[in-house]
């Protein structure tokens, strides 16, 4: 069987409802599982996928993680199927994501912002949050593009988490 995760994307910014979508199959109908975790807590569930002829079926699952006690803002979304022989987790796909509610209390959505010449993270944080010392929110929400908070490049698009 095979699994292809199309949502969330690696390093995607997610909220309390994590949308997991893609294709899975290789059997008439098969049971797949998901796990969303960060090492301290996890949310698990399952879904059926298949197209009825042994091909690949699309799936879309919404996982409510609002009750989880996540301590970190980096989560892992895993999708796999369990071997009936020995219980092994097979064909596991792991997608690392960023958990917005651990960055901005009441996180709902993010806004994209293109860095301009002369911008600093302190200035951007002041503009969007009213306080420059909240710039770590920007760093945490953009690990894929901000590797050094002292060096940002004009033209780079960053995500600004909003509540």
Q: Report the C-alpha gap between 95 and 12 in whole angstroms.
A: 9
Residue 5 pLDDT > 60:
yes
Instruction: Spell 55-69 as b/e; 16+ CB within 10 A means b.
Output: ebbebebebebeebe
| pLDDT at 91 (0 to 100) | 94
The secondary structure of 68-93 as a DSSP string is S---SSEEEEEEEEE-TTT--EEEEE
Residue 45 pLDDT > 60:
yes
Element (H, E) at 47: strand 42-49
Please list the alpha-helical segments (H only) found in the chain.
Answer: 121-129, 136-141
Q: What tokens were used for 103?
A: 């960055």
Domains of the chain: 2-101 (2.60.40.10), 103-162 (3.10.350.10)
CA distances from 37 to 23, 99, 100, 155 (A): 21, 10, 14, 33
45-54, 88-97, 134-143, 149-158, range with the lowest pLDDT: 45-54
Residue 28 pLDDT > 80:
no
Residue 29 pLDDT > 90:
no
Q: Report the C-alpha gap between 39 and 86 in whole angstroms.
A: 24
What pLDDT band is residue 24 in, cutting at 50, 70 and 90? confident
Q: Report the C-alpha gap between 63 and 78 in whole angstroms.
A: 12
Residue 137 pLDDT > 80:
yes
What pLDDT band is residue 53 in, cutting at 50, 70 and 90? low
């Amino acid at each position: 069987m095979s699994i292809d995760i199309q949502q969330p994307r690696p390093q995607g910014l997610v909220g309390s409802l994590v949308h997991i979508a893609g294709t899975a199959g290789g059997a008439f109908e098969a049971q797949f599982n998901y796990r969303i975790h960060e090492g301290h807590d996890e949310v698990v569930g399952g879904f059926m996928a298949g197209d009825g002829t042994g091909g690949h079926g699309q799936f879309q699952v919404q996982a409510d993680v609002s009750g989880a006690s996540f301590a970190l803002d980096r989560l892992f979304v895993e999708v796999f199927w369990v071997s009936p022989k020995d219980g092994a987790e097979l064909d596991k796909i792991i997608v690392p994501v960023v958990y917005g509610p651990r960055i901005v209390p009441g996180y709902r959505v993010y806004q994209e912002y293109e860095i301009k010449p002369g911008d600093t993270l302190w200035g951007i944080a002041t503009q969007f949050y009213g306080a420059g010392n909240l710039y770590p929110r920007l760093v945490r929400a953009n690990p894929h593009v901000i590797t050094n908070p002292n060096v940002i490049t004009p033209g780079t698009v960053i995500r600004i988490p909003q509540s």
